[in-house]
Amino acid sequence: MKRAVVILFAAGLALPPALSAQKAPAQRQDSAYTAKIHEYLQDPRITTELVDHLPASSTVPTPLKFLGRIVGTPGELTHARDIHRYMEAIAKAAPNRARFWTIGKTEEGRDMVLLAIADEQTIKQLDRYKGMLNALTDPRKTSEADAQRLLHTAKPVYYITSGIHSPEFGGPEMLMELAYRLVVEETPLIQNIRNNVITLITPVVEVDGREKAVDTYYWNKKYRQTVGQLPLMYWGKYVQHDNNRDGMGQYLDLTKNITRVTLDWTPTILHDLHEAVTYLYASTGTGPYNEQIDPITIDEWWMLAKNDVMEMTKRGVPGVWTYGFYDGWVPNYLFFIAHTHNAVGRFYEVQSYGPDNYEVKPPVTTTSREWFRPNPPLPYIKWGARNNTNIQESAILFALNHVAKNKEMYLENYWLKNKRAVAKGATGPIYGWVIPAVQHAKQNAAEAVNDLRRQGLEFDVATSAFTAGKVQIKPGDYIVRGDQPYRTIADMYFALQNFSPANPAPYDDTGWTFPLMRNLTVLEATDKSLLNAPMKKVTADVTAPGGITGSGSVIVVDNTSDNNLVTFRFRLASVKMQAAEDEFEADGHHFSPGAFVIADANRAQVVPVLRQLGLSGYAMASVPSVKTHDLDVPRIGYVHSWTRTQDEGWVRAALDHYGVPYAYFGEPKLKEGNLRAKYDVIIWPHGGTPNGAPNAGGFGGGRGAAADSGKPAPNVPIPYRRTAEFQALGYPDSTDDIRGAVGADGYKALYEFIQQGGTLITEGSTAAILPQMKLTPGVSFEDPATLFARGTILRGVITDRRSPLVYGYDRGEVPVYFNAGPVLNAGAGAPPPVEVAGAPAAPNGGQAARPAARPQGQNTTPMATQLKLSPWDPEHTGEGYGMLPSTDSAAGRGGRGGASGGGGGGFGGNFTAQPVPGLTADPAARTRVVMQFPANPADMLLSGTLEGGQTLVNRAQLVDEAIGQGHVVMFAIRPFWRWQTQGTFAMGFNAILNWNDLDAGRAGKTTTDR
């Protein structure tokens, strides 16, 4: 058989693909594999001629030969390490058609991999083909004539990724069979793909999570009946489902690795495989579409999706559809990495793999025949792993074939999009951006430059002073030229968002403006002369100029809200430092409240750290005469829920990145008590368990057992531990028993910890828990039914500038990220709850009846309705950030969208925590509102969406409640959101650094006290 294959290859080389295919003799089939395909398929309608068989090969092992089972075998799953071994085996067996390499490591040290597949002559010259696509990326280097030639010779790269969502099992399994088929099969369609497209496959993006998910599946198979159901506790080290919302922030290694592949290969199409709908959804989204996406891309989305829907519908496969899922707005998804680089990103959602067979009985809203769903899913079907494999493998083969047939169109579109991006540098209105190097938080600015460079945005640094229109450029300032192809990144990230509530409900965040989220000064250059400024390329990571000036044994480090200040403190943990409680002048410098004062400093120890961290110190002879308190390094406890580990990881990521050590433990440990002896600070992020919540008892262990046997769950501990058999489990935390949450005893212990002088830091949903339990007399929880504020950027007004929580913030305002709630009323001028007329009021602050779904009938032009954004103009120059050209247009407003969207995000605090009997509030508690929403709703919205702003008037964003000897810090905003809100990280760090001096600067008797 080996010889026969070789002959076929030769034929394929010598003749045009269509002709060679006609002449190709029928290929020998793998009858054992094919028989298993038919045996495992649960419904004969879920197949096509592309996947109802598997060709044989004498050289390349099938999944059956390699793994001992076919792809789509019920009740079995494959670890990422074995999927990777299989992909490598294909490349070894067919080096002329496939190449395999690793693309980076995960947080837990596992490999991410890539398999490239194409025909022999392409694989032989893979780097040459890569170079052609790179050339089509950059019109600055490639002439039009060269590009026109390349459009005929280059081949599009179709990059398939999967397994980012760990319980979505099927994509990685299917991709093994797809890879085999693409390498081995000799049908005209497969040859067409192989000859005209370079297929790249990363079968598992979240490798750490895949290993945990597969181990968890097999653990449950073994122990579910006798112990109970073990949920998938963690995916990667930090977050679960949010791992595909890291496209902008790019903190996770998986995102960085995929981005590196993107920059290296400049893929034409990036296709991410998921499992969340019935039976296969090819993405277009409902809109509104991100306003910086090239219009060509929107057409490509539709063309690709309709191709797949049509080909599957032609073959009578039900339930393949498009449009009615997801929007297309926020650029935080993994596949949006393609859009920020002028390519096209898309995704599938497929009916779950299982792997155990099951039945699907969708509601009529899923089975109705609609314009976007010409052949809808059935009211009932038997489903299984092979159904999942067949449907997505077929669809993606049709997609690959479509791109192979239309390769010149996709390449031309790609070239055109890159040209249009560069041309914006000639036509404006934005010719580039300037990030002043010397600005309040200069190291935060430098880190922003590095983060954006890593995504491919090119930076220059000004080599001398220059004026471009209204923008004054100083030497050292960072310049983003507007005439580069990847300016799309800046266009997308730096723009203001105006999301009309008349739109379909947003799927995720509505606002993300980078300069606002990072609280940085970024200037838009609307004068073309910017491009003539003297400048040179930034070729390596930058650090703000740091170090020390002056002489003397006292060193003062100004507090600039640079996040590296917390690194500085913890790296020099043994050095005594104080924080100034007021602003002061010393040695001709003005210092802000919170400046670090190191008396008797060891210069040789301090200076290198300052330099490395981009911070500036001033040496002086004597300690300045300003009131100070010690910056005592705290022992930090970090609490996570065992029922929801999705959200807390972003906070952990910030602590890890900036070198803040902590002890990490689950909620049930709180009830052991004696917390003050162990910790000074306890951090309890969003996702913590409210008292009395349905999941407060943790996973009772009954779900699996009860479902399988009808018997009650065995009342035994459920461990989450690494074992020889289940090596991926037990990380990043482990326990002998995942059951239980905080519990009454835990809440009592937590409250005692505060009373005894500890500081509890809460954010998002956990900030609502103590107010709901009536343990913070000055702060009450509200749940306004008419508020619509999905993942949006609102104005924060600092109301107590002497609070240590806002040390380093030089202005009275800060842009903050707020996501639906919680709404905290802590006095400070907040009126009683108001409700917009006509909407049902929230009953007693409990779960509010949300407004009815949006008005009947489709609003086909919702984006014609513009909200009035409030300009971000903290320097009061009269020219708000990003307000040119004006977004202040139509005054009319359409109807509003639903209050909650589809996927992740949302406040998630819709359960009201119940009081614990015997645990009552300390009547002497004092409330200090540090930051709040503006008094006028018209001043609130900076970027994103907002409706019902009246319900936020003077509501607290950051509250410090003093209880006994300690404090509860409540962030109603999300200071550490998805590695995007670097502008508010410092408030969280301030709470840590000043944990036992939070009363500093407190007015003797303030109006906020109750």
Q: Which residue, 168 or 186, is less far from Zn ion as judged by CB?
A: 168
For residue 248, the minimal CB distance to Zn ion (Å) is 18
Q: By CB under 5 A, which span of 73-81, 158-166, 857-865, 913-921 interacts with Zn ion?
A: 158-166
Segment 716 to 735, residues that bind Zn ion, using CB under 5 A: none
For residue 981, the minimal CB distance to Zn ion (Å) is 24
Handedness of CA 375, 376, 380, 384 (dihedral sign): positive
DSSP string covering 395-422? HHHHHHHHHHHTHHHHHHHHHHHHHHHH
Closest CA to 419 of 161, 207, 160, 146: 146
Q: Which residue, 212 or 274, is less far from Zn ion as judged by CB?
A: 274
Q: Which residue, 240 or 510, is less far from Zn ion as judged by CB?
A: 240
Contact 174, 243 (CB under 8 A): no
For residue 335, the minimal CB distance to Zn ion (Å) is 11
How many Å separate Cα 93 from the centre of its chain? 37
* 348 membership: H or E segment, kind and range: strand 344-350
For 506, phi then psi, to 5°, come to: -65, 145
Q: Which residue, 205 or 525, is less far from Zn ion as judged by CB?
A: 205
Q: Which residue, 168 or 800, is less far from Zn ion as judged by CB?
A: 168
Segment 342 to 361, residues that bind Zn ion, using CB under 5 A: none
CA dist 414 and 422 (Å) reads 13
Q: By CB under 5 A, which span of 267-275, 290-298, 694-702, 936-944 interacts with Zn ion?
A: 267-275
By CB under 5 A, residue 274 contacts Zn ion: yes
Question: What 3-state class would DSSP assign to 457?
Answer: coil
Q: Which residue, 76 or 272, is less far from Zn ion as judged by CB?
A: 272
By CB under 5 A, residue 419 contacts Zn ion: no
For 869, phi then psi, to 5°, come to: -75, 150
CA dist 1008 and 1010 (Å) reads 6
For residue 388, the minimal CB distance to Zn ion (Å) is 13
CA dist 591 and 557 (Å) reads 9
By CB under 5 A, residue 79 contacts Zn ion: no
CA dist 585 and 271 (Å) reads 57
How many CA within 13 A on the CB side of residue 310? 8
Q: Which residue, 274 or 442, is less far from Zn ion as judged by CB?
A: 274
For residue 274, the minimal CB distance to Zn ion (Å) is 3
Q: Which residue, 330 or 437, is less far from Zn ion as judged by CB?
A: 330
For residue 305, the minimal CB distance to Zn ion (Å) is 17
Q: Which residue, 76 or 168, is less far from Zn ion as judged by CB?
A: 168
How many CA within 13 A on the CB side of residue 968? 31
Segment 644 to 663, residues that bind Zn ion, using CB under 5 A: none
- Binding string to Zn ion for residues 217 to 256, with x set by CB under 5 A, is what? ----------------------------------------
Cβ contacts of 447 within 8 Å, gap of 6 or more: 563, 982
For residue 158, the minimal CB distance to Zn ion (Å) is 20
By CB under 5 A, residue 155 contacts Zn ion: no
Q: Which residue, 274 or 419, is less far from Zn ion as judged by CB?
A: 274
For residue 324, the minimal CB distance to Zn ion (Å) is 17
Contact 654, 662 (CB under 8 A): no
For residue 165, the minimal CB distance to Zn ion (Å) is 3
By CB under 5 A, residue 165 contacts Zn ion: yes
Handedness of CA 233, 236, 239, 243 (dihedral sign): negative
For residue 265, the minimal CB distance to Zn ion (Å) is 23
Q: Which residue, 451 or 647, is less far from Zn ion as judged by CB?
A: 647
For residue 325, the minimal CB distance to Zn ion (Å) is 11
Residue 524 is which amino acid?
A: E
Q: Which residue, 245 or 274, is less far from Zn ion as judged by CB?
A: 274
Q: Which ranges in 518-658 belong to alpha helices (H)?
A: 564-571, 603-613, 649-657
Tell me how many residues contact Zn ion (CB under 5 A): 3
For residue 326, the minimal CB distance to Zn ion (Å) is 11
CB atoms within 10 A of CB 711: 10
Q: Which residues pair with 100 in a beta bridge?
A: 115
For residue 275, the minimal CB distance to Zn ion (Å) is 6
Contact 167, 240 (CB under 8 A): no
For residue 47, the minimal CB distance to Zn ion (Å) is 24
Q: Which residue, 274 or 644, is less far from Zn ion as judged by CB?
A: 274
Contact 906, 505 (CB under 8 A): no
Q: By CB under 5 A, which span of 58-66, 269-277, 378-386, 586-594 interacts with Zn ion?
A: 269-277
The residue to which tokens 């009946």 are assigned: 225
CA dist 971 and 985 (Å) reads 11
Handedness of CA 6, 7, 11, 14 (dihedral sign): positive
Segment 168 to 187, residues that bind Zn ion, using CB under 5 A: 168
Give the CA distances from residue 195 to residues 174, 201, 220, 343, 412, in Å, rounded to whole numbers and listed in that order.
Answer: 22, 17, 44, 21, 18
Q: Which residue, 346 or 739, is less far from Zn ion as judged by CB?
A: 346
For residue 918, the minimal CB distance to Zn ion (Å) is 44
Closest CA to 516 of 990, 20, 973, 49: 973
Q: By CB under 5 A, which span of 65-73, 266-274, 560-568, 835-843 interacts with Zn ion?
A: 266-274
Q: By CB under 5 A, which span of 83-91, 161-169, 689-697, 988-996 interacts with Zn ion?
A: 161-169
Q: Which residue, 274 or 896, is less far from Zn ion as judged by CB?
A: 274
Residue 52 is which amino acid?
A: D
Q: By CB under 5 A, which span of 268-276, 598-606, 885-893, 999-1007 interacts with Zn ion?
A: 268-276
Contact 898, 502 (CB under 8 A): no
CA dist 642 and 665 (Å) reads 9
Q: By CB under 5 A, which span of 14-22, 270-278, 325-333, 379-387 interacts with Zn ion?
A: 270-278
Radius of gyration of the chain (CA): 29
How many Å separate Cα 286 from the centre of its chain? 21
For residue 507, the minimal CB distance to Zn ion (Å) is 12
Q: Which residue, 21 or 276, is less far from Zn ion as judged by CB?
A: 276
Q: What are the tokens at 279?
A: 């039976």
Q: Which residue, 272 or 524, is less far from Zn ion as judged by CB?
A: 272
Q: Which ranges in 659-713 belong to alpha helices (H)?
A: 675-678, 702-709
For residue 347, the minimal CB distance to Zn ion (Å) is 8
Contact 387, 317 (CB under 8 A): no
Q: Which residue, 165 or 339, is less far from Zn ion as judged by CB?
A: 165
Q: What are the tokens at 863?
A: 């984006």
For residue 162, the minimal CB distance to Zn ion (Å) is 9
Q: What are the tokens at 503?
A: 């739109």
Pairing mode, if any, of strands 663-666 and 636-640? parallel
Closest CA to 481 of 450, 466, 460: 460
Closest CA to 206 of 174, 160, 175, 252: 252
Which positions lie near Zn ion, rule CB under 5 A? 165, 168, 274
